Amino acid sequence: MSPVISASIYHQEGQYENALRTLQLTDHIEASALQVQILVAIERPDQGFLAVSHCFLPFSSAKKLVSKMDEDSTLTQLCGAWTNIALGGEKAHDAYYAFQELMDKTQTSPILLNGAAAAHIAQQKWEEADGAVKEATEKDINCPETLINQIMVRNSLVLLIFNNLGCYSNRRRGYCAANACVIERKSSFASFCC
């Protein structure tokens, strides 16, 4: 059985250590990509970043996570983008550009759109993420990643709306304390809480 297939089975079963150990038996690009995916899944994006960036560095005695990966290959770019999302911050911004570049080179797919949405989510750019999720939904309504991103974005947008309403409500209470609506709301809130 192929080490990549064995590692995929281990990965699906949550046996990440066995999967990583199995992947050390091969130096195929698919094995390296799966290794990066597992490292990101176990919240070790720093090691995943090392794996992806290793292909841009001269060969060294450092742990060989990615061997002979072509820096222009789609798989390498996807690994880099997902690692950058996991690292967050400015790296998430770089991930968005990687997904955008892939969409420009190939055709726009739900997977790439969801990647772009995930990059926006990592940057807390909810409106942009919502746009990417809507476009992904138009491409394939049954894509599970689209549904997950849709739930994440909608929940965050609703939370933003409620936070803004709370600010407006607090301002209204401060400025319009004698207003009948504010007084009624205070009394109903007090009876609800007590």
Q: 121-170 pLDDT, tens per residue?
A: 999 998 999 999 999 999 998 888 888 888 888 888 777 776 665 555 55
**pLDDT above 70 as % of the chain:** 68
Quote the pLDDT of residue 60.
Answer: 32
The DSSP line for 101-140 is: HHHHHS---HHHHHHHHHHHHHTT-HHHHHHHHHHHHHH-
- In the predicted structure, residue 83 carries a pLDDT above the cut 80: yes
46-50, 104-108, 116-120: segment of lowest average pLDDT = 46-50
Place of tokens 């720093």: 46
Quote the pLDDT of residue 120.
Answer: 93
Instruction: Please state the φ and ψ torsions of residue 178, each to the nearest 5 degrees.
Output: -90, 0
Total-model pTM: 0.66
Give the domains, in start order, of the chain with CATH numbers.
Answer: 1-86 (1.25.40), 88-194 (1.25.40.10)
Average pLDDT, the chain: 76
| d(C-alpha 32, C-alpha 37), whole Å | 9
